Amino acid sequence: MAYQIDQSGKIEQTSLDTIIALSNNKKYCVILRRKTKRLLQEEFRLRRKPRMFIFDTFCALLTIILIKAKPTAPVFIDKEYFGNEALIKARILEFINKIGLSNYIPEIEFTLVGKNSPAHHLAAKVGNKTIKPDEVVTLEGISIVLWPQKKTGYSAINRTKGNLTQDWIPGGRKPSRSY
């Protein structure tokens, strides 16, 4: 049986908490608090990508729920943002690959889930505080998905260990690859 994912409280509504629920024989629900959404929105503004706030945050939350629940059947995501399904699917797969879980790629499809779906009922119960969510997503938790840290290790440029960007070179010069 396929899994369904539904959202309660849109990402762009920063006065409301966003709840994303996955439901089938296994249920999983995450919540992104409104305060965290506002901080995240400010971070996107600082990174000069304010228009990607909605889609990237939605995709990061979907990635978190897919990684935690590990659904084995196809996943049907409610069409929350019409016309952007290809972008959403591509970003989810990109986030999964960035985290390093490229061996786990769920089958994702978009459809209208509806008000009678178990995922919608689960999201509504969490929204009404009837039951608690499985995870409260923090700013640090979602930042790991959105902006994974650069790998550090052995640098072939000058044979030192450290950050591969080499921002610490005296004089502020960037090394060339011709060394």
- At 88-140, the pLDDT tens digits run 999 999 999 888 777 778 899 999 988 889 999 999 999 999 999 999 999 99
- Using H for helix, E for strand and C for coil, what is the string for 74-112? CEEEECCCCCCHHHHHHHHHHHHHHHCCCCCCCCEEEEC
> What count of residues does the chain have?
179
When the pLDDT of each residue in the chain is averaged and rounded to a whole number, the result is 85
Q: What is the pTM (predicted TM-score) of this model?
A: 0.80
- pLDDT-derived band of residue 179, with 50, 70 and 90 as boundaries? very low
Is there a contact between 37 and 138 (Cβ–Cβ < 8 Å)? no
Q: How far apart are CA 174 and CA 179, in angstroms?
A: 12
Name the token pair of 179: 């060394």
The per-residue pLDDT for 100 is 79
